[in-house]
Amino acid sequence: MDRLARAGLRRTNFRRKLFTLLLDREPYALSVGEIREHPIARNPDAVTVYRNAETLTRIGMLDRITDEKGRSRYRLNEVDGPNLKIACRDCHATVLHPSPRLPELESLAHELGYSGISSRWEITGYCEECGERRASRG
C-alpha cells in the first residue's frame, strides 16, 4: 500500500481488496471475471476491476499475462525490473523469474537507439501438476 502512495495513487478500499484476493490465489493469474467472482471482491463491476488492474499493472505492482484465449490475467508482481513469466496454459499458475539475461537483452534495444524500453518475456507450458494430469489421461 505504501507503493501506491509513492506512485501518487489513492489507497482505495477496492485496491486493498484486489491485493488481498490476488495474494489469496497465488500463484494463479486471474481474469477480470474470476476477480469479480472472488468472495473478497464482493462483486464489483467489470470496469472497476479492469481499470484498477490496468493502473496497478502500469506502475508495476501487478503483472498482466495474456492467456491462450487472448484474455488478460493479473497476478501480484513481486519482482522488480524485467522478468521472465512462465505460465501454465491449463490452471494459469505463473512463476516470475528475474532472469539475469533480460537486462542484457534490453540493452540491445538501447544500443539500437531505443529509449523508454520495457519488455515482456513469456513462456507457456503445463505446470507439473497439469502435466501429470494430462499424461495420465493418455
> Where along the sequence are the contacts to Zn ion (CB under 5 A)?
88, 90-91, 93, 127, 130
Least distance in angstroms from the C-beta of 94 to Zn ion: 10
All three cell numbers of 11, joined, read: 489507497
Give yes or no for a cis peptide into 27 (omega within 30° of 0): yes
When the beta carbons of 84 and 130 are compared against Zn ion, the nearer one is: 130
- 113 φ/ψ sector (left φ>0, alpha ψ -120 to 50, else beta): left
Least distance in angstroms from the C-beta of 131 to Zn ion: 8
When the beta carbons of 62 and 127 are compared against Zn ion, the nearer one is: 127
Amino acid at 50: Y
Least distance in angstroms from the C-beta of 3 to Zn ion: 29
When the beta carbons of 42 and 89 are compared against Zn ion, the nearer one is: 89
Q: DSSP E strands: which ranges in the chain?
A: 30-31, 62-66, 72-76, 84-88, 94-97, 121-125
When the beta carbons of 15 and 73 are compared against Zn ion, the nearer one is: 73
Least distance in angstroms from the C-beta of 93 to Zn ion: 5
Counting every residue written for the chain, the total comes to: 138
